[in-house]
Amino acid sequence: MSFTNQIQAVAYCRTPYKQKFGIPRQPGLVSAAHGFVELVAPFNQVDAVRGLEQYSHLWLLFCFHENLAQGWKTTVRPPRLGGNEKLGVFATRSTFRPNGIGQSVVKLHAVHTDNGKVRLEISGMDLLDGTPIVDIKPYIPFSDSIEDAQGGIAQDAPELASVTFCDTAQQQLEQYQQNPAYPRLAKLIEGVLAQDPRPAYKKAKQDPKLYQVALYDLDILWKMLPQGIEVLEIIPSQVGISNTSDTP
């Protein structure tokens, strides 16, 4: 069966996440991540979001736009299983899907309709900056939340690592937090790194590697120590530093 109507983006998501590495593997894990859903023409109309402010949360259907060229896989290696065991793509939330479509639930803070533009202020997203949004739906608590649902390999939330800042990073953090361009920066860094975004196979081994996560236009440099994660530096983004992550 083929679709006669081509799916198109109704909006684009603006988030602190500038690279795939470091993005939480599920929505809602980092509440300090704030951003916007910006509607585009011809959907950028006040009437299209009339009544939306009565809901506290939204479903966002989106496109894994940076993975489409790599195609899809019948089986994947979920980090929950240490990256060693395989599950079918439809038994996971892998980004490598036949149609490249994902869904996330996010918190809605406000609906802005300034200068003829519609922007939805949200938080808790797990989306790369610039992600195309193909649909927006209200979250309905009585039907979307199921108390006795079984979560398979992902029944429980992941364990969190402790996050500390060395003296240099703490001084840099205090300077950047004075800039309104970096809202909730400390909580955002702590929330992202506490998820331990490293590839799953790294977590049972000693790991002296220096890692980098890009948030806003900053590079957060950190490493894993026996007692947890230590942030070493917070600096303007560098060209040429890159990491990849195995997202479930």
Residue 95 has pLDDT above 70, yes or no: yes
- Answer yes or no: do 117 and 43 share one domain: yes
Averaged pLDDT, 99-127: 95
Q: What is the pLDDT of residue 234?
A: 98
- Is 248 among the domain residues? no
Q: What is the pLDDT of residue 8?
A: 92
* Contact present, 109 and 12 (Cβ < 8 Å): no
Q: What is the pLDDT of residue 4?
A: 52
Q: What is the DSSP string of 74-134?
A: SEE--GGGTTTS-EEGGGS--S--SS-EEEEEEEEEEEEEETTEEEEEEES----TTEEEE
Q: What is the pLDDT of residue 154?
A: 81
- Answer yes or no: do 120 and 172 share one domain: no
Q: What is the pLDDT of residue 191?
A: 97
Residue 68 has pLDDT above 80, yes or no: no
Of 124, 152, 180, which residue constitutes the final position of a domain? 152
Pairing outcome for strands 57-63 and 101-114: antiparallel
* 152 three-class SS: helix
Q: What is the pLDDT of residue 244?
A: 36
Half-sphere exposure of 244 (CA within 13 A, CB side): 3
Q: What is the mean pLDDT of the chain?
A: 90
Residue 79 has pLDDT above 80, yes or no: no
Residue type, 114: D
- Answer yes or no: do 131 and 80 share one domain: yes
Q: What is the pLDDT of residue 245?
A: 36
- Answer yes or no: do 196 and 139 share one domain: no
More confident residue, 84 or 114: 114
Which range, of 24-38, 71-85, 167-181, averages the lowest pLDDT?
Answer: 71-85
- Answer yes or no: do 136 and 164 share one domain: no
Q: Which CATH number characterizes residue 66's domain?
A: 2.40.30.70
* Contact present, 142 and 33 (Cβ < 8 Å): no
Averaged pLDDT, 77-92: 84
> Residue 25 is encoded by which pair of tokens?
């593997």
Averaged pLDDT, 31-38: 97
Residue type, 34: H
pLDDT in tens, 164-210: 999 999 999 999 999 999 999 999 999 999 999 998 778 777 889 99
- Answer yes or no: do 53 and 173 share one domain: no
Residue 241 has pLDDT above 50, yes or no: no
Report d(CA 237, CA 216) in Å as an integer: 9
How does residue 3 score in pLDDT terms, banded at 50, 70 and 90?
Answer: low
Of 122, 137, 152, which residue constitutes the final position of a domain? 152
pLDDT in tens, 140-163: 999 999 989 998 888 888 889 999
Q: What is the pLDDT of residue 27?
A: 94
Report d(CA 111, CA 107) in Å as an integer: 12
Residue type, 1: M
- Answer yes or no: do 131 and 66 share one domain: yes
* Contact present, 83 and 199 (Cβ < 8 Å): yes
Q: Which CATH number characterizes residue 193's domain?
A: 3.30.2310.20
Of 101, 129, 152, which residue constitutes the final position of a domain? 152
Residues of the chain with pLDDT > 70: what percent?
A: 94
The residue to which tokens 């992600």 are assigned: 131
- Answer yes or no: do 146 and 168 share one domain: no
Q: Which residue segment(s) compose the domain that 51 sits in?
A: 11-152
Q: What is the pLDDT of residue 158?
A: 83
Q: What is the pLDDT of residue 94?
A: 85
Element holding 239 (H helix, E strand): none
Q: What is the total count of domains within the chain?
A: 2
pTM over 0.85: yes
Averaged pLDDT, 45-59: 97
